[in-house]
Amino acid sequence: MNSPLANESNTVDGLLKRLEQLNDVGASLSRQRDITRLLEQILLAAKTLTNADGGTLYRMLDDGRTLRFEILRTDSLHIAMGGTSGKAIDFPDIPLITESGLPNDKLVAAYAAIHRITVNIEDAYSSADEFDFSGTRVFDERTGYRSQSFLTVPMRNHEGDVIGVLQLINAIKPGTHEVLAFSYPDQRLVESLASQAAIALSNRLLMTQLEELFEAFIGLINLAIDEKSHYTGGHCQRVPMLTMMLADAVANTQEGPMAGFQMNEADRYELKIAGLLHDCGKITTPVHVVDKATKLQTLFDRIELIDTRFEVLKRDAEITALREQLALRPHANAQAEAAIRAHSAQAQAALDADREFIRQANIGSEGMSDADIMRVRRIGSHYHWRNVDGVQTDFLSANEMDNLCISKGTLTTAEREIINHHIVATIKMLERLPWPKHLQNVPEFAGGHHERMDGKGYPKGLSREQMSVQARIMGIADVFEALTASDRPYKPSMKLSQALSIMNRLKQIGHLDPDLFDVFINSGVYRRYGEQFLSPDQLDEVHLTS
């Protein structure tokens, strides 16, 4: 092993410099959110601190009995595998226990993990009796490399468990190509780095587990909404995806009013969570209102009751005609009987026509004209029928009349207020949660997707200037998904051209953000979303006029 003063990096000044580097690395590791990049950063930092030519980072699998290659680097051979290299590592995992049930002490990485100690080898070829370096020899023969010095350090978390192994190969003397043994200061620095790295990795894994748990709870809420009404479950999944697609397009915009909008990974995660929770308040909405496919639907479609009443009236008309005919007996009067039959047929035809009209009015897919509304009211008051108690009563109840006279859609004013209340419930639910700093905007992002740019939206009547860009993005995503969705009980799905034509008008009247809508169109987000989630017959050509 070389002397602590054998090269400049082991002088007092050199060690102080490397300690500063170690501190900087530790701070950097604590800020890294991406686990793959974190692992890569750990290995590269260790190589830099020791001037190592190569290195490998192994990660302990959840079974606690297997090491897996995660990152591999050898500078002189220009080898970069795993991590952000884009090249997968195809080496087999390293078991800590052999098939015979004994510790796998012949492999140096396994030995370090099993015994939780650092292994510092000056020359692998002279340590062949102690460890199995046959794989290393094969690699060297194939590449012409000479694997000499090894420094293998277990990474232990705060509980003392080994979560990985850091292995460095061939310490290079600065300014030369000479391979040295890893010095004791090298070893101590890497052990310190491994300790910091293990804590950073454990913290990141813990944060990832908590995030996964949190998202799983969100998934449970959306599953509950989905189970309650399968018409809205898909919406809760598609709106977040479309929101992120549009947000990324806006962040990538280089020109125009939105050129200054940027998002980092934390911003993207915050918006993703807001998207997933944007309709969580629907868990409080009665299912018969959410699923109201026709005007008369409650727990069932009451059009069937009205159909029965029409049948009763038709039979009453037939019975009346038969009685009138019977009254002509015993003297036959063919002309009178023909008149009776004609009148009965006319009455039943009128009933059939009115019944078909009521059925169409119940669907609610088209707007009701004033004349149509008057006809509903005439039918409701003109006909009378004898109910199950034998009481002569109006053909349509007041509630049935009010529902059938809905001018647009299937919801009454009171039911629409119930539906609209879901956003109030969403905001109340989200504002009660103790959001951490990086998620503190979730209630505002999620709670603003029914606001309008002109301040005429709900529930707070916010104007464009009072809303975040993220909330306005979600508003566009929510409208587009609702227009094009094929799983709504009250309307058919729209083609792209029809949906975007409606949204273009909404932009012009101050409902949707004009700048964001332009990005939505110009970036082609609507079509990429359509190709992923819509049926082929919806993907027609779009030609908008300003």
Output the DSSP codes for 493-508.
Answer: PPPHHHHHHHHHHHHH
In the predicted model, what is the mean pLDDT of the chain?
86
Lowest mean pLDDT among 1-5, 48-52, 170-174: 1-5
More confident residue, 75 or 222: 75
Q: Is 11's pLDDT higher than 70?
A: no
What are the φ/ψ torsions at residue 372 (nearest 5 degrees)?
Answer: -65, -40
Q: Is 5's pLDDT higher than 50?
A: no
In whole angstroms, give the CA distance from residue 226 to residue 234. Answer: 7
Element (H, E) at 322: helix 303-327
Burial bucket for residue 105 (CB in 10 Å: 0-12, 13-18, 19+): middle
Answer for the pair 196, 26: CB distance below 8 angstroms, yes or no. yes
Q: Is 493's pLDDT higher than 60?
A: yes
The torsion of the CA quartet 123, 128, 130, 132, rounded to 10 degrees, works out to 110
Please tell me whether residue 468 adopts helix, strand or coil conformation: coil
Answer for the pair 53, 174: CB distance below 8 angstroms, yes or no. no
Question: How many angstroms separate the Cα of 286 from the Cα of each of 36, 113, 311, 473?
Answer: 45, 57, 32, 28
Q: In this predicted structure, what is the pLDDT of residue 232?
A: 60
Q: In this predicted structure, what is the pLDDT of residue 197?
A: 77
Tokens coding 104:
């796998």
Tokens coding 470:
């993220």
Q: What DSSP designation does 119 have? A: E
- 333 CA to centre of own chain: 78
Express as a percent the part of the chain with pLDDT over 90. Answer: 47
In whole angstroms, give the CA distance from residue 323 to residue 321. Answer: 5
In whole angstroms, give the CA distance from residue 330 to residue 299. Answer: 52
In whole angstroms, give the CA distance from residue 284 to residue 292. Answer: 15
pLDDT bin (cut points 50, 70, 90) of residue 4 is: very low
Q: Is 196's pLDDT higher than 90?
A: no
Closest CA to 514 of 529, 523, 504, 526: 504
Query: What is the β-pairing status of strands 52-60 and 162-172?
Result: antiparallel
What are the φ/ψ torsions at residue 306 (nearest 5 degrees)?
Answer: -70, -35
pLDDT bin (cut points 50, 70, 90) of residue 391 is: confident
In whole angstroms, give the CA distance from residue 294 to residue 363. Answer: 5
pLDDT bin (cut points 50, 70, 90) of residue 21 is: low
pLDDT bin (cut points 50, 70, 90) of residue 301 is: confident
Express as a percent the part of the chain with pLDDT over 70. Answer: 91
Q: Is 18's pLDDT higher than 70?
A: no
Burial code (b: 16+ CB inside 10 Å, e: under 16) for 89-103 equals eeeeebebeeeeeee
In whole angstroms, give the CA distance from residue 219 to residue 225. Answer: 10
Q: Is 6's pLDDT higher than 50?
A: no
- Rounded to 10°, the helix 230-251/469-484 angle is 130
Q: Cβ of 260: how many Cβ atoms within 10 Å?
A: 8
| 174-200 average pLDDT score | 87
pLDDT bin (cut points 50, 70, 90) of residue 283 is: confident
Q: Is 164's pLDDT higher than 60?
A: yes
Q: In this predicted structure, what is the pLDDT of residue 145?
A: 94
| 279-283 average pLDDT score | 86
**pLDDT digits over 107-163, tens only?**
999 999 999 999 999 999 887 678 999 889 999 999 999 999 999 999 888 788 898
pLDDT bin (cut points 50, 70, 90) of residue 1 is: very low
Site of tokens 């098939």: 99
Answer for the pair 384, 392: CB distance below 8 angstroms, yes or no. yes
Q: Is 334's pLDDT higher than 70?
A: yes
Under 8 Å CB-to-CB from 226, ≥6 apart: which residues? Answer: 232, 233, 234, 236
Under 8 Å CB-to-CB from 99, ≥6 apart: which residues? Answer: none
Q: In this predicted structure, what is the pLDDT of residue 20?
A: 62
pLDDT bin (cut points 50, 70, 90) of residue 488 is: low
Amino acid at 22: L
Amino acid at 369: S
Q: In this predicted structure, what is the pLDDT of residue 442?
A: 96
Tokens coding 417:
């207020």
Q: In this predicted structure, what is the pLDDT of residue 2?
A: 43
Tokens coding 172:
């290079």
Q: Is 280's pLDDT higher than 80?
A: yes
| 421-433 average pLDDT score | 91
